[in-house]
Amino acid sequence: MTEAQRLKNLTPPTGPVDVVLDTDTYNEIDDQYALSYLLLSGDKLRTKAIYAAPFLNRKVSSPEEGMEKSFEEIGRMLGRLPYAPPVFRGSRTFLADEKTPVLSAAAQDLAERVEHYSPDAPLYIVAIGAITDVASAILLNPHVCENAVVVWLGGHARHFHDCREFNLMQDVAAARVVMGCGVPFVQLPCMGVVNTFTLSAPELSAWLVGKNELADDLAAITMREMARGTGQSIWTKVIWDVTAVAWLLNDGDRFMLSRTEQTRLPTYDLHYDEQPLDCRMRYVYYILKDPLLRDLVEKLSRA
């Protein structure tokens, strides 16, 4: 891929594009918002497949269980959405090293699917969990690096004191494979950037409750999650994953500001490598909350 083509592919698309979503949907509640936002933006984003990503936290006993619970949650959400793309089970473990893929239906589908695309007409991969499935597809088929663009919510801002962020720290090897392979790569850092995109209980009540079944469901799972997690009556919840989908709708910098940077790989001690790579990536550094929130609420309200 030429540098001119790379820079072109690091610019938000202006016309309809094909998208796949890799999501650990059962991990939290923001994936459900992102999945809904993606499928409700079908005039521009044509969702071709959804991949269930692994995760491991207090909700599950293994990455495989996290992936399976996410697979089930994707199915539940699709019952409330306008159409249902094919859904594939993802990795049952995280990468053991930077050379060996984890075989899964998701990784194999992605490795095959990219053969129908090109640098001039790429497939957009939105990843909002541990990036194991995408890394495995790259290890299975290096053409992913030429024929796709990866948009990942992961890591923290470069000015933050570390990269101890959930999506990154679960599979550092996978992040290093994806960021270091040369694929056009867009990063939406969590702390220091995306953590400004929040919703509160009064906002949910005013803007979503009573609009429709989908909006009620999203408001309910958010309030339930926050009541269980904080026990507080006053809170705001970051809806992290919506921003990764929003980058594909960001023509004219409507929803966020970004710049091209030299790629800096995450290290295994959860910092960024001081020595950057030669290839460039796109780095989101500011979220325009109100315009993005308006677009999200409008789409959810008329679902």
Residue 140 sits in a domain whose CATH number is 3.90.245.10
Residues 117 and 205 in one domain: no
Residues 46 and 109 in one domain: yes
Q: Are residues 258 and 164 in the same domain?
A: yes
Pairing of strands 256-262, 280-287: antiparallel
| pLDDT tops 80 at residue 229 | no
Buried b (16+ CB within 10 A) or exposed e, 183-215: bbbbbbbbbebbbebbbebeebeebbeebeebb
Cα(192)–Cα(188) distance, integer angstroms: 10
**In the block, which residue shows the tokens 């939290």?**
28
CB 99 within 8 A of CB 236: no
**So what's the pLDDT on residue 232?**
77
One domain for residues 61 and 156: yes
Same domain, 138 and 254: yes
Residue 15: per-residue pLDDT: 86
Whether 297 maps to a domain, the answer reads no
Which comes out higher in pLDDT, residue 231 or 147? 147
Asked whether residue 190 is assigned to any structural domain, the reply reads yes
Question: Cβ distance 264 to 276 under 8 Å?
Answer: yes
List Cα–Cα distances, 147 to 31, 100, 115, 121, in angstroms: 25, 21, 7, 7
CA 288, CA 286: separation in Å to the nearest integer?
Answer: 7
Q: Is the pLDDT of residue 262 over 80?
A: yes
Same domain, yes or no: 178 and 226: no
Instruction: Give SS3 for 199.
Output: strand
Same domain, 77 and 221: no
Q: What's the pTM value of the predicted model, to 2 decimals?
A: 0.97
Burial of 52 (0-12, 13-18, 19+ CB in 10 A): buried
CA distance 65 to 62: 5
Total domain count, the chain = 2
Give a yes or no: residue 299 inside a domain: no
CB atoms within 10 A of CB 232: 8
Separation of CA 261 from chain center:
20
Residues 121 and 215 in one domain: no
Q: Is there a domain that residue 301 lies in?
A: no
Q: Do 234 and 104 reside in the same domain of the chain?
A: no
Question: Which secondary-structure segment (H or E) carries 221?
Answer: helix 213-230
- Categorize the per-residue pLDDT at 227 as very low, low, confident or very high, splitting at 50, 70 and 90: confident
| Cβ atoms 135, 177 nearer than 8 A | yes
- Average model confidence (pLDDT) across the chain: 96
Whole-angstrom CA distances from 186 to 109, 155, 258 are: 22, 12, 9
218 in a structural domain:
yes
3-state secondary structure of 45: strand
Please give the residue range of the domain that contains residue 233: 198-238
Q: What are the φ/ψ torsions at residue 272 (nearest 5 degrees)?
A: -100, 140
- Residue/partner pairs of 68-72 with CB below 8 Å, 24 or more apart: 69/26, 70/23, 70/24, 70/25, 70/26, 70/27, 70/31, 70/129, 72/26
Q: For residue 152, is it within any domain? A: yes
Instruction: Let me know if residue 213 belongs to a domain.
Output: yes
26 & 145 share domain: yes
Question: Within 10 A of 89 (CB to CB), how many other CB atoms are there?
Answer: 19
* Number of residues assigned to the chain: 303
Nearest to 192 by CA among 171, 163, 169, 151: 163
Kindly state whether residues 69 and 11 are assigned to the same domain. Answer: yes
Query: Same domain for 113 and 216?
Result: no
Report the percentage of the chain scoring pLDDT > 90: 94
Residues 20-36 have pLDDT tens digits of 999 999 999 999 999 99
Residue 113 to residue 125: CA distance in whole angstroms: 11
pLDDT digits (tens, 9 = 90+) for 165-192: 999 999 999 999 999 999 999 999 999 9
- At residue 231 the predicted structure's pLDDT band, cuts being 50, 70 and 90, is confident
E strands in the chain: 17-23, 45-52, 87-89, 123-127, 148-153, 185-188, 198-200, 236-238, 256-262, 280-287
